[in-house]
Amino acid sequence: MEDTARLFEAHRGLLRSIAYRMLGSLADAEDIVQETWLRLSRAGLAAVGNPRSWLVTVASRLCLDRLKSARAQREEYVGVWLPEPYPAEDHGGAKRGEIDESVSIALMLVLEKLSPQERAGFLLHEVFGFSFDEIARVLEKTPPACRKLVSRARARVRAGRPRFKASREDHETLLSRFLEACRAGEMAPLLELLHPAAEFHSDGGGKAITAPKVLDDPALIAKFFVRIARETRPSGGFRETKAAFFNGAPGLLIYQGGRPITALALEIAEGKIIRIFAHRNPDKLRLFS
Whether residues 208 and 136 fall in one domain: no
Q: What is the pLDDT of residues 223-246, one digit of tens each?
A: 999 988 887 766 556 778 999 999
**Statement to judge: residues 98 and 143 lie in one domain:** yes
pLDDT digits (tens, 9 = 90+) for 135-179: 999 999 999 999 999 999 999 999 987 677 788 999 999 999 999
Domain identity same for 29 and 150: yes
> Is the pLDDT confidence value at 285 over 90?
yes
Q: Residue 177: its pLDDT value, please? A: 95
pLDDT reported for residue 92: 46
Q: 37-51, 105-119, 212-226: which range is least confident on average?
A: 37-51
93 pLDDT higher than 70: no
If asked whether residues 136 and 7 sit together in one domain, one would say yes
Task: Name the least confident of 84-93, 166-175, 256-265.
Answer: 84-93
- Whether residue 52 is found in the same domain as residue 177: no
| Residue whose C-alpha is closest to residue 134's, from 62, 52, 33, 34 | 52
Res. 250: pLDDT tops 70? yes
Based on the fold, state whether residues 137 and 186 are members of the same structural domain. Answer: no
Say whether both 37 and 143 belong to one domain: yes
Residues 100, 26, single domain; the answer is yes
- What CATH number corresponds to the domain at position 188? 3.10.450.50
DSSP output for the chain: -HHHHHHHHHHHHHHHHHHHHHHS-HHHHHHHHHHHHHHHHHH-GGGTSSHHHHHHHHHHHHHHHHHHHHHHHHHH-SS---PPP-BSS--SSSPTTS--GGG-HHHHHHHTTS-HHHHHHHIIIIIT---HHHHHHHHTS-HHHHHHHHHHHHHHHHHH-------HHHHHHHHHHHHHHHHHT-HHHHHHHEEEEEEEEEE-TTSS---SS-B--HHHHHHHHHHHHHHHGGGTTTTSEEEEEETTEEEEEEEETTEEEEEEEEEEETTEEEEEEEE--GGGGGGG-
| Domain finish residue from 115, 141, 160 | 160
Which range of residues forms the domain containing residue 194?
168-288
Q: Percentage of the chain surpassing pLDDT 70?
A: 94
> How confident is the model at residue 69, as a pLDDT?
81
Residues 98 and 32 in one domain: yes
Return the CATH number at 33.
1.20.140.160
Domain C-terminal end among 160, 193, 208:
160
68 and 141 in a common domain = yes
Same domain as 148, residue 105:
yes
Identify the domain boundary among 160, 182, 209.
160
Q: What is the pLDDT of residue 91?
A: 44
Q: How many domains does the chain have?
A: 2
Domain co-membership, 18 together with 140: yes
pTM listed for this prediction: 0.90
**Residues 81, 22: Cα–Cα separation, whole Å:** 15
